[in-house]
Chains A and B, each alone.
Chain A
């Protein structure tokens, strides 16, 4: 049998959500280079698509970044589907120090490939002012609004690909989870009505 470029056979059986799966990923972040419009496409793993951006913040900007956590909280509270088009599962924003310098980590887990939807993300970031967070990072392109390639380049340069990802219920999208929970609720209602 020919050697496989990708992960082992077991892991590629994407639809089996009942079987927890882990995937070890090469240093580059992908098994085989597949070109997207702005850079390489990264594989979907048992923990979906996602990225981990780590960038140094400009001196004295820590409070401005922290304050933006509140801004996003309010935007989503006011409009729950504000970020829907990003097909997110989770976002984690972390600030941490190395020596005297502060770094920002933006980790997103989502169901689409970032390269494919770069412009949609940039449009959304503009709309909700997420730009103000990025603008506090060193090396962030000043012309990012008019120049999506420069934005993607920044993301590519600061992306730290995982070397291991795990999913307890692998390859399940946020929409599928929501559908399953809706179905559960509907069944529960139905059973109530049958009493």
Chain B
């Protein structure tokens, strides 16, 4: 049974927030970091509070890099028990993730590739005005914590119209999310069975019937998770130009957009709506996930083998799927580019977290194989058309009778502007960190 009172709400339930602010922090002295953590701890939302019928305003989430755990005073013996990929950090794993070229950490912004990045605090807010209040309150609090500095910050807000969640390219988002066993939620049809908590939280049984190793001491790691953070710029002008270049009519352009994603922008999956958009299907959570690829679309005539959603969730066409699931959180940043406006050069995109129990088995596998392996599904020279590292040298094959359509030299619709690996401790873990003794900080 999940210990909801000891788990941060972040991966269990979304607060009803339309805005958020991420602040990336550095601790100049361990005691400063601990003072800050002690002060903010009461604002950290638990899974229990968010899931209850009386939601409170404690919507803060706190997570640390490996360097951040050290900066708080966690001892070397303990630090060594964390998995290698977390110790190295996302920037050092760029080659494995495939974040090369313009996506390489050398070009990242906000100090995210730096070893000075120690913590992230996520301030969720009901709306933009409330976010302003949270920001001021945190600013004020930081004045009491000399030695804790903001490396960078990012403001996020949902894009209008608000009745459906979507990103800057206009695709309906959050349609396929894993359900955690024991949360009392029924997976929607076609989503597969609920997933064992050990795939997302440390200290529970996973899909292989094992408990993933708990870094030491257990009080620090139990009920915690790993987060992979990505700031992904979306080149909306380039994306729309591409659609116009490859489609003569608005209908043709919509079909091109759908073929890249594997779903129409309404969310309707191509497997169920191959020729024409079906917005009603897109909205219907009881139907919009109820499909497979192996039996219903083996050759990709509806959904191309290399389409984004077919890569990120190959469903029945990959092995071991229950062990590859991840929980996605995050939102959009930057202003919406109006439909008829040319590219304005303003950065906009998605800033997202991938939550899991093993970065190497879950997140890095997805990046290394599904997103950036050119041979995935034997495609030969393709990467994820939306999220893959594109430099104009890869293709996109769209199966079609009688002869397939091949788009050569796909442009990069997105650029990774930053990323990091964080550990998201449970509540007891946070308290442990806040109360670390000085003795452990500077061993003689």
Contact = CB atoms under 8 A, between A and B. Distances in A.
Nearest to A33: B95
A119 B213 contact: no
Contacts of B368: 36-37, 116
Contacts of B323: 119, 123
Which of B212, B213, B361, B364 has the largest number of chain A CB atoms within 10 A?
Answer: B361
B319 A123 contact: yes
Contacts, number: 48
Contacts of A116: 365, 368-369, 373
B319 A124 contact: yes
A175 B95 contact: no
Contacts of B364: 37
Interface in A125-155: 126, 145-149
Interface of B: 84-85, 95-96, 208, 210-213, 319-320, 323, 360-361, 364-365, 368-369, 373, 375, 378
Given A116-B368, A119-B361, A145-B210, A35 B320 contact: no
B62 to A, nearest CB: 28
Contact of A37 (B212, B320, B360, B375): B360
B96 A145 contact: no
Nearest to B207: A123
Given A37-B360, A37-B365, A146-B213, A120 B319 contact: yes
28 contacts: A36-B368, A37-B85, A37-B96, A37-B360, A37-B364, A38-B360, A112-B375, A116-B365, A116-B368, A116-B369, A116-B373, A117-B319, A119-B320, A119-B365, A120-B319, A123-B319, A123-B323, A124-B319, A126-B208, A145-B208, A145-B210, A146-B208, A146-B210, A146-B213, A147-B213, A148-B360, A148-B361, A173-B378
A171 to B, nearest CB: 10
A71 interface: no
Contacts of A126: 208
A124 B320 CA distance: 9
Given A123-B319, A124-B319, A146 B361 contact: no
A97 interface: no
B369 to A, nearest CB: 5
B360 A149 contact: yes
B320 A123 contact: yes
Contacts of A176: 378
B348 to A, nearest CB: 31
Interface residues of A, number: 23
Contacts of B373: 116
B96 A85 contact: no
Contact of A123 (B96, B208, B378): B208
Interchain residue pairs A-B with the least CB separation, the first 3: A85-B319, A146-B210, A120-B319
A63 interface: no
A40 to B, nearest CB: 11
Contacts of B320: 119-120, 123
B180 to A, nearest CB: 20
Interface in A47-105: 85
Contacts of A117: 319, 369
A34 interface: yes
A169 to B, nearest CB: 16
A119 B364 CA distance: 12
Contacts of A111: 378
Nearest to A111: B378
A34 B208 contact: no
Contact of B95 (A34, A85, A119): A34
Given A117-B369, A173-B378, 6 more contacts: A37-B85, A37-B364, A37-B368, A123-B320, A123-B323, A146-B212
Contacts of B365: 37, 116, 119
Contacts of B210: 145-146
A85 B369 CA distance: 14
Contacts of A147: 213
Nearest to A35: B95
A116 B213 CA distance: 22
A140 B378 CA distance: 32
B96 A36 contact: yes
A147 B213 CA distance: 9
A173 B375 CA distance: 11
A145 B361 CA distance: 13
A24 to B, nearest CB: 23
Contacts of A119: 320, 323, 361, 365
Nearest to B324: A119
Given A85-B319, A175-B378, A35 B213 contact: no
Contacts of B208: 123, 126, 145-146
A123 B322 CA distance: 12
Contacts of B360: 37-38, 148-149
Nearest to A148: B361
A37 B97 CA distance: 9
A126 B323 CA distance: 14
Residue from the set A126, A146, A176 with the largest chain B CB neighbour count within 10 Å: A146
Contacts of B96: 35-37
